[in-house]
Amino acid sequence: MGALLGVNIDHIATVRQARYAKNAGSINVEPDPVEAALAAERGGAIGITAHLRQDRRHVVDHDIFGLKEAIRTKLNLEMGNSPEIVAIALKVLPADVCLVPESREEVTTEGGLDCITHRATLEPTLKAMAEAGIRVSLFIDPEPRQIGAAASLGAPVVELHTGAYAEASGAKRAAELARLMEAARQASEAGIQVNAGHGLNYENVKPILALPKLVELNIGHSIVSRALFVGIEQATREMVALLA
């Protein structure tokens, strides 16, 4: 089976911020994440993912509003469950939000959201998003207890964290793939849409396509890395072909 591709443009913003962190919203600032998103759409992406972090280390507020205005597919806003970012999401009204854990110390999102520990704070956010017509995905590790918690919260989508699989090799990678397979089966049987992402690239993505009822993969760093040599549109097209 294949899967649909959402392209994460965070690292386009990372390159911009390396030089223009103090004036990212000014004119003649490059590279433009919105321009990258439009190229990814031309390459076959069915959505654009961007993570608005509390520290604004890459994507900033005007990027999110610009993406919502410009793209023709859908915006998937990755976000921590903080009141400030929740308020922005309810103003932007993306098609999807993906709730992720967030630590200022990490370079990128590491590990899944603990839906058990944080249930009390997740519930009102899921309710507010649903009332606003925003579909919520929970970014979780492939663990039965987390799938169960996502189901009990009424989450329509989970994004299975594939980082442990991507970082493993040999027998350990096979074991991580088996964990993902079982988590996908459990989620789909609970009526939850199965998405996946983190650490996936042109080499390790194919086995992930065997996940039961897999709908969508969100991939960023690998596509942006490939784009240095062939451009965003072609890099996206190549990944789409792998997923088909």
* Structure tokens, 29: 């600032």
Of the residues 11, 58, 161, 198, only one is catalytic, namely 198
Cβ of 32: how many Cβ atoms within 10 Å? 16
Are 198 and 176 in contact by the 8 Å Cβ rule? The answer is no
What are the CA-CA distances from residue 163 to residues 41, 106, 118, 199, 237 (Å)?
A: 25, 14, 21, 5, 23
To the query of whether residue 161 is one of the catalytic residues in this protein, the response is: no
Q: Rounded distance, CA 29 to CA 168, Å?
A: 38
Of the residues 11, 41, 58, 78, only one is catalytic, namely 78
Q: With 0-12 CB in 10 A as exposed, 13-18 as middle and 19+ as buried, what is 9? A: buried
To the query of whether residue 51 is one of the catalytic residues in this protein, the response is: yes
DSSP H or E stretch at residue 14: helix 10-20
Q: What is the DSSP letter of 76?
A: E
Among positive and negative, which fits the CA dihedral 89, 90, 96, 101?
positive
Residue at token pair 């080499």: 203
Chain mean position to CA 30: 23
Of the residues 51, 143, 159, 161, only one is catalytic, namely 51
Of 167, 242, 172, 200, which Cα lies nearest the Cα of 2? 242
Q: Rounded distance, CA 221 to CA 117, Å?
A: 29
Q: Which residues are designated catalytic? A: 51, 78, 198
